[in-house]
Amino acid sequence: MARIVMKFGGTSVADIARIRNVARHVKREVDAGHEVAVVVSAMSGKTNELVGWVQDASKAEGSNFNIYDAREYDAVVASGEQVTSGLLALVLQSMGVHARSWQGWQIPIKTDGAHGAARIQDIDGSFLVQRFGEGQVAVIAGFQGIAPDNRISTLGRGGSDTSAVAIAAAVKADRCDIYTDVDGVYTTDPRIEPKARRLSRISFEEMLEMASLGAKVLQVRSVELAMVHKVRTFVRSSFEDPDAPGMGDFDNPPGTLICDEDEIVEQQVVTGIAYAKDEAQISLRRVSDRPGVAAGIFGPLAEAGINVDMIVQNISEDGSFTDMTFTVPSGDVGKALAVLEKGRATIGFDAVQHDDGMSKVSVIGIGMRSHAGVAATAFRALSEKGINIRAITTSEIKISILIDGPYTELAVRTLHSVYGLDKQ
């Protein structure tokens, strides 16, 4: 007997028929004798609808602006998961499974007070463990908790993944299964490269890089939590027949296991290629080269909530001036330029230039730590395809390259091939 947390996303619970399919997955694990907690998202599209209602309701008459109380926002948008958890509990009961629904505040999942983007601070799993002992399945509303002001809080988009991993850590689950509309983690996006392969295993660190660099399979915070608490996490498809061969295999079910790198016997040099479109490059020309200038540039950007990524600095020959180039999401360009112009006198620069429509392509793999020449291989391959590199950043297990957006798909396919990821 094992303890399992199963998480189902919005497309998996989009209607009653799909909720019945989810219930079959849950019943399979219950019938195998496992203790089960289920975390559910709102039905597909429901959260967007609820957010739209909040925005419409908060507009003052005759105004196009909507400034709303984040606590009431949370009260409204958290209701989507409440509906799903109740419906799944009802379906499970109709199938003879002893189940009940739980809201975040009932467990309780305690968060900080940042309504709309709260972070989990503590989970008391004792009630759940007690109910496991009574043979009960806990169906938990994801994405939500309770803030210090005793009001419902939500964890931000994709928060149900984080809920599931946090609950798995709190109840010391043997594994956390994230069911989604894909059947695992692939070497790259199969929509771009049909030869992309599903990975049987990937390390926490690699998955964290993949998630933060563009792969949409898991929310970044959920991978961080899994890595910190060593929660073995499976990415699986909810659209597989619940009774298909191998679906009940506890050790090696179909999907991708995210685990400690010690569990990966044969490590590839490169594990995957990730990409993120809609990046913008901003360059400050002839910036005074003095202590504190970087803080003067990036401090105000951080205070404005602008996420700066790749940073390149060039020093002039006489050392008195520097050029500073960095990237931000394309949607933040206007705000970033306004912040920089406001601080122009303090920072001291001659001109600011920007280019939209950039893409960041990243090569990821824990095997890069012990292999030389990985970066050179990428640069040579892109050069042969006529792809110009705008900026480069590296870490122990990743190389990120900024290129012009129209070359994204060619770059992904080229790098996927040059590292042999299209071969079995």
* 151-177 pLDDT, tens digit each: 999 998 888 999 999 999 999 999 999
Is 346 annotated as ligand-binding?
Answer: no
Is 407 annotated as ligand-binding?
Answer: no
Is 47 annotated as ligand-binding?
Answer: yes
**ω into residue 108 within 30 of 0, thus cis?**
yes
Q: Which of 143, 176, 236, 241 is CA-nearest to residue 36?
A: 176
Is 8 annotated as ligand-binding?
Answer: yes
Q: How confident is the model at residue 316 (pLDDT cuts 50, 70, 90)?
A: low
C-alpha to C-alpha distance for 333 and 296, rounded to whole angstroms: 18
Q: Which of 105, 51, 98 is CA-nearest to residue 82?
A: 105
Q: How confident is the model at residue 265 (pLDDT cuts 50, 70, 90)?
A: confident
| Fold of the domain spanning 272-419 | VC0802-like (3.30.2130)
Instruction: Determine the 3-state secondary structure of 356 from DSSP.
Output: strand
* 42-70 pLDDT, tens digit each: 999 999 999 999 988 887 666 666 678 89
Is 250 annotated as ligand-binding?
Answer: no
* 95-136 pLDDT, tens digit each: 999 999 999 999 999 999 999 999 999 999 999 999 999 999
Token representation of residue 6: 């199963």
The residue type at 260: D
Q: Tell me, yes or no, if the two domains 3-262 and 272-419 fold the same way.
A: no
Token representation of residue 403: 């290129």
The CA distances from residue 42 to 39, 83, 159, in Å, are: 10, 7, 11
Is 349 annotated as ligand-binding?
Answer: no
Length of the chain: 424
The whole-number average pLDDT for the span 279-305 is 87
Residue 53 has, within 13 A of its CA and on its CB side, a CA count of 15
The CA distances from residue 29 to 3, 33, 286, in Å, are: 10, 7, 63
Is 398 annotated as ligand-binding?
Answer: no
Is 7 annotated as ligand-binding?
Answer: yes
Domain-wise residue ranges, the chain:
3-262, 272-419
Is 9 annotated as ligand-binding?
Answer: yes
**Would you report the helix, strand and coil content of the chain in percent, each value rounded to 5?**
40, 25, 35
Given this model, what pLDDT does residue 323 score? 85
Q: Is residue 424's pLDDT more than 60?
A: no
**Domain 3-262 CATH (choose: 3.30.420.40, 3.20.20.70, 3.40.50.300, 3.40.1160.10):** 3.40.1160.10
C-alpha to C-alpha distance for 296 and 348, rounded to whole angstroms: 10
Is 327 annotated as ligand-binding?
Answer: no
